[in-house]
Chains A and B, each alone.
Chain A
Amino acid sequence: YVTYISLFFFSWDETHFGKMGSYYINRTFFFDVHPPLGKMLIGLAGYLSGYNGTFPFQKPGDRYEHHNYIGMRGFCAFLGSCLVPFAYLIVLELSKSLSAALLAASILIFDTGCITLSQYILLDPILMFFLMGAVLSMVKYNSCADRPFSAPWWFWLSLTGVNLAGAIGVKFVGLFVVLLVGLNTVYDLWELLGDLSLSLVTLGKHLLARVFCLILLPLALYTAQFAVHFAVLNKSGPGDGFFSSAFQSRLIGNNLHNVSIPEHLAYGSVITMKNLRMAGGYLHSHWHLYPEGVGARQQQVTAYLHKDLNNLWVIKKHDSNTDHLDPSCSVEFVRHGDVIRLEHKETSRNLHSHQHEAPMTRKHFQVTGYGINGTGDANDFWRIEVVGRKAGKRIKVLRSQIRLTHLATGCILGSSGKTLPKWGWEQVEVTCTPYVKETPNALWNVEDHINPKLPNISLDVLKPSFPEILLESHMVMIRGNSGLKPKENEVTSKPWHWPINYQGLRFSGVNETDHRVYLLGNPVVWWLNLVTIGLYLLMATCTIVAIKRGVQLTVEFKELSEVLLHSGGKMMLGWLLHYLPFFMMGRVLYFHHYFPAMLFSSMLTGITWDTLLKFCAGCLSCSVGKRVYTYGTLALMLLIVYSFYLFHPLSYGMVGPMASDPNSPMAGLRWLESWEF
């Protein structure tokens, strides 16, 4: 359908996903906010086409040189070009009208945005492929409804499930298409339930078939792809820090891999404590004092992200200063609810808190290192507690989530996540929070543990099981996603910008001499889509009110209204489900998030205009009507093709002066001031 031109430059997010493809080939562990399927497929495509994973992907605009990247790009482009036949088949199936299908397909062929987006190594073409695949198979199995439990019915039903798994496996946006299919299925079952000719047993079979194909199968596939992800990525890499200590012990090359340490905490143990918030640091202290004017002038306590000797603390009893490592003493384990004192190993000061305000978070208390050689005061006492455990139980290394409550003030030791100024070496602030809340900020776990008197056990025993790592990686992904907040004073794309094609996204090239690619929808197509949504709502309301008022329709019009309400309704629902949720998202949004919704909107355009033209033709006499229908369709097609001819340089690359310059080939096409090409 479409021929794609490859470029020698790589652009924008290719730095991101291309690099992740390389990680798969090199088997190094990384962290990304999206599920792994898309990147895994990119990596696979690269591997099969002979890419060796060595290109650094540092900044947009670098040349690929001799690296073999065509495989990865070709793969994405191929999936992107599949969208066109998918749209054609969906609309054909829904409206049974060839011209509607052709219209929808031509919109996607000649949309500059879709072309640009599928030319590069991005997740979006993969996502859209699975998404359209799911819709196509859903539509197909719906039309098999008269032959339930036949081979094609089973085939399309299970294919829907497979595609759903693919869609959520690429990006969480895939959940919206799951919702669409889910609603469609509920409606389907509701219809079956109302059919009194079906026995309850048959209904049960229908229900089970759907539960199996649309819930269990996708879940199994989704889990399987995570299993592959964890199996492939077994080397330590840049993503380690995002995960808990137990998770890290799985990775080859990580310092927690294959080590053996004592399992239960005992008095006299030397430990490091890691904060449980994502990318939280180790509890740290050093000789430097808090500067004048910042609370009490005592030794700083911070959270530090790297391994260091200053992260080591010794657990002592709160009331005695005996050396527990003395061979004559017997081993005494630390138990849930004990009152302890934490002594910093290098400086021999105690972890201390008092009612001075913390340096950055003013409502919290300051945490300091206090005392000389372990003798301090009553403000050095902390109660150690394990979340969800009863009193008197021992405390486990890595596994136990520990909370340290300050005895005198009742506050809880936590890391606020704020970076200290230069006097604190830009480490992370540690405070004592008076608000008793169950957040990972206030929870810690013991990572290193040295106690010569206890038997070491291999950490393999503590290795998390697959369900645990699955759960953890989801938690980290969700937190990562909600952490992508726009900064203040930063220009961000707003959801209302998208359907009106207000602003595009610069893919590569800035200056006049660069090869510039700009992601922007074909404005004629997009505005046509926008108008069509209004038109559709108007037509649907008129039709539905007319039917409700009991207007008698001819057979022909009845069929048309059926197509308009049911098929158009499905597409409308798809558009709404893929568009409206973005208004409620707090994270950074980009223009390309609209493209799944745009696919539905394009198919809706095909159906609506075809219905409208047929309706007009039906009202007129036979020969005139036919002519109106043919010419109308043709005029729309020509409009789309011509606008593509005008705007095609956007996606195939522009060289030369900017559009504001009258010499540019794009001069006069910058219809909105906010377009930057």
Chain B
Amino acid sequence: ISDRSLTKPFCRMLGFLKQPVVVTAEINMNLVALTVMGLVNRFWALSYPRAVVFDEVYYGQFVSLYMKRIFFVDDSGPPFGHMLLAFGGRYSMNVPIWSLRLLPALSGALCVPLAYQILVELHFSHCAAFGAALLILFENSLITQSRLMLLESVLIFFILLAILSYLKFYNLQKCSPFTAGWWFWLLLTGVACSCAVGVKYMGLFTYMLLLATAGVHFWHLIGDQTLSNVSVFCHLLARGLTLVVVPVAMYLSFFYVHLTLLYRSGPHDQIMTSAFQASLEGGLARITQGQPLEVAYGSQITLRNVLGKPVPCWLHSHKNTYPIRYENGRGSSHQQQVTCYPFKDVNNWWIVKDPGMQQLVVSNPPRPVRHGHIVQLVHGITTRYLNTHDVAAPLSPHSQEISCYIDYNISMPAQNLWRVEIVNRESDTDVWKTILSEVRFVHVNTSAVLKLSGASLPEWGYRQLEIIGEKLSKGYHQSMLWNVEEHRYGKSQEQKEREVELHSPTQADISKNLSFMARFTELQWKILTLKNEDTEHKYSSSPLDWITMDTNIAYWFHPISGAQIHLIGNILTWASANVATLVYVCLFLWYLLRRRRKICDIPEDAWRLWVSAGGLCVGGWAVNYFPFFMMEKTLFLYHYLPALTFQILLIPVVLQHLTDHLCRSQLPKNMFSALIVAWFSSIYLVYRTFSPLTYGEPILSAAELRALRWKDSWDILIRKH
């Protein structure tokens, strides 16, 4: 065997010498026609309207930040989508609208031939495949979404590409595994999946579906006893490499490019930790650049809370004292307030003092503070010591009040010793480092922990945030952790000089670099956990409204002419897709139960086709739809579009199955075909009817608009005259 397999490619290599070079091109005119139609239909008057439409506001902002290389955080998804949009905007002159909308429109247009190809690869007839492509072509909601600078159509493109390349790969699997084509399609599956996930996290659902499908197919492969153990293992390895390792690597590379491109500090800096901010150019880095790394006795520092919620803030104190009695009648210590203040201020400066010594300057050489050391914290401007007593905190009565100690001579001695615990230490003798170390301050007398409670103080505390001493520290929480942000070695002995020193900017000479993985982890975590407060939107809807399209979104409205663009689907397609899903599920269950009783209604091949096609389409619809019921974020109709695409692909599958297997004789077959033609023309008609709302032109009169309001729940804007 080995002999033949070696000589064969060799012969083939030499073969081209014996024959003339001939290029035979096979062009599927269906595909070309569909692509052209898709392009026309998506690109028609693309730069109209010349205005910012709906969420283009956000994407436009991100693109311009990209241009300026300014760092930002977008909680809606990973950076690949923004990067693609910014890439489109890159080669534009003064009016970037067309080029910014180019990429979404292009991906929207390419979805049409992709749909065709997918059905062909599923072994359905060209007729059915053509039908699927037409349905995608005439779907108003997909057109609207792809004609604007939004990411859904890019996402759908990558999802369909992933599905198509997996199907190509699977069809090659039977005849020629480990060939170039096989590797190509397998690799393309992985790449398309990672692009889909990189554009929007929703892509994860389809990725999971594909992984599951690949798992099932591999399971059949294991059962194939003609394959040797080694080749099964090779198959596993190839799949693991291309479907898991490659996507993960690609995903990381998106972030790598993102973080490399955006190196300037910007509006979202405050969300990130000090260490991250210091790695950006400008902003905090300008201040912290070159400040001493190791905190020593006598250091002047500002302490930032690591959690950064509800707002990032710094440990702060000021002259005012806690009111003697609170509004609810409880008493306080009447000592100087300690709060957390969300702005930079000279009152945020503290001095680290050795309890055994009087001086407030750094000795030469500096004595660094290490994990477990006991320190006092002196407020720079008022020179009072950070202190806590067994007095209830103003808003959290179960915790202790934190104050700066004033000696009133009333048998309440100062308790101002704090133990420094570095949480992210490597060894127990670690030095407390600027920016990098996350520190807990444990009160020596009561073992209370300095913590940000998250509540805002009333008027007397200037609405600053409350700081408490948590007595029963239930494990670690970021609100108990602090890091040094600004830092310098104190030099001034006298209070007056020191005040001047505190007001002056810091400067010194070391820079800090964060590794890519550390920055990636932090950014990823922030993207996943960042929550937008406002969950109400005029056009938000619930997943139940989507399936019947009870809702629409008004994207754009021209105040004078009354022209408008809506995200509104082709209602006939939506209804047919729902019916197709229902028919599929019922028929599937019926066949399944009957097969279990050993009654076969359809031949084995047809059954396998039915399962695989339906599994992909219904499965794709289900995984892209049902998870939304468990999500708590604000949802919009456009979240349904990926699911809808899968559902539309199901329609021709069901139709062809019905013609092939349920219409036994010729007459009903013909009648059925006629019905399908009629149905297709009505779909086209509905598309034409609603296209003024899709393209924003021609401008409709109030009566015409009213006539388009087919459902009472649709929100179509009609001008009052």
Query: Could you tell me which A residues sit within 8 Å of B by CB distance?
Result: 190, 193-194, 196, 363, 422, 434-435, 487-491, 502-503, 506, 510, 545, 548-550, 584, 586, 674, 676
Contacts and interface: CB of A to CB of B under 8 A. Distances in A.
B449 to A, nearest CB: 11
Nearest to A433: B536
Contacts of B597: 193-194, 196
7 contacts: A196-B598, A363-B534, A489-B309, A491-B475, A502-B475, A548-B223, A549-B222
B229 interface: yes
B453 interface: yes
A213 B184 CA distance: 55
Contacts, number: 55
B475 to A, nearest CB: 5
B529 to A, nearest CB: 12
Interface in B472-490: 472-477, 479
Nearest to A438: B542
A556 B95 CA distance: 78
Contact of B474 (A196, A434, A491): A491
B60 to A, nearest CB: 23
Summarize B's interface: helix, strand, loop or mixed.
Answer: loop
B307 A510 contact: no
A503 B222 contact: no
Given A435-B536, A489-B452, A190 B596 contact: yes
Contacts of A363: 534, 536
Contacts of B458: 422
Given A196-B597, A196-B598, A489 B307 contact: yes
B630 interface: yes
A634 B288 CA distance: 62
Nearest to B227: A549
Nearest to B536: A435
Interface in B301-338: 307, 309-310, 327
B229 A549 contact: yes
Given A194-B597, A489-B477, A548-B222, 20 more contacts: A193-B593, A193-B596, A422-B458, A434-B538, A435-B538, A487-B454, A488-B309, A489-B454, A490-B477, A491-B475, A503-B475, A510-B472, A545-B222, A549-B223, A549-B225, A549-B232, A550-B225, A584-B630, A586-B632, A676-B472
A363 B634 CA distance: 16
Contacts of A434: 538
Contact of A422 (B229, B327, B472): B327
B476 A674 contact: yes
B219 interface: yes
Interface in B453-510: 453-454, 458, 472-477, 479
A510 B446 CA distance: 13
B195 to A, nearest CB: 27
A586 B633 CA distance: 12
A503 B474 contact: yes
Given A548-B222, A549-B222, A491 B536 contact: no
Nearest to A194: B596
Contacts of B452: 489
B303 to A, nearest CB: 16
A646 B598 CA distance: 60
B684 to A, nearest CB: 34
Contacts of B536: 363, 435
A479 B671 CA distance: 53
Nearest to B451: A489
Contacts of A488: 309-310, 454
Contacts of B307: 489
A281 to B, nearest CB: 21
B240 to A, nearest CB: 15
Closest 6 CB pairs of A and B: A489-B454, A489-B479, A491-B474, A491-B477, A488-B454, A193-B596
A182 to B, nearest CB: 17
Interface string B436-453: 000000000000000111
Contacts of B327: 422
A430 to B, nearest CB: 16
Nearest to B327: A422
Contacts of A487: 454
A491 B309 CA distance: 13
A502 B474 CA distance: 11
Nearest to A505: B474
Contacts of A506: 472
Contacts of B538: 434-435
Nearest to A489: B454
Interface string B216-228: 0001001101000
Contacts of B223: 548-549
Nearest to B542: A437
Given A586-B632, A674-B475, A489 B453 contact: yes
A545 B598 CA distance: 27
Nearest to B307: A489
A199 B696 CA distance: 63
A503 B474 CA distance: 9
Contacts of A194: 596-597
Contacts of B310: 488
Contacts of A584: 630
A490 B454 CA distance: 9
A490 B310 CA distance: 12
Contacts of B219: 548
Contacts of B476: 491, 674
Contacts of A193: 593, 596-597
Contacts of B309: 488-489
Contacts of B537: 435
Nearest to A545: B222
Interface in B587-629: 593, 596-598
Nearest to A502: B475
A434 B472 CA distance: 45
Contacts of B479: 489
B237 to A, nearest CB: 15
Contacts of A502: 475
A175 to B, nearest CB: 15
Contacts of B453: 489
Contacts of A190: 596
Contacts of B229: 549
Nearest to B454: A489
Contacts of A196: 597-598
Contacts of B225: 549-550
A190 B451 CA distance: 57
Nearest to A191: B596
B67 to A, nearest CB: 31
B437 to A, nearest CB: 18
A108 B557 CA distance: 67
Contacts of B598: 196
B463 to A, nearest CB: 11
Nearest to B465: A489
A490 B399 CA distance: 13
Interface string B233-277: 000000000000000000000000000000000000000000000
Nearest to A506: B472
Contacts of A548: 219, 222-223
A339 B591 CA distance: 58
B539 to A, nearest CB: 9
A548 B454 CA distance: 57
A194 B597 CA distance: 6
A491 B632 CA distance: 21
A550 B632 CA distance: 47
A188 to B, nearest CB: 13
Interface string B81-117: 0000000000000000000000000000000000000
A491 B473 CA distance: 9
Interface string B1-14: 00000000000000
A550 B223 CA distance: 8
Contacts of B477: 489-491
A586 B458 CA distance: 30
A422 B474 CA distance: 32
Interface in B664-700: none
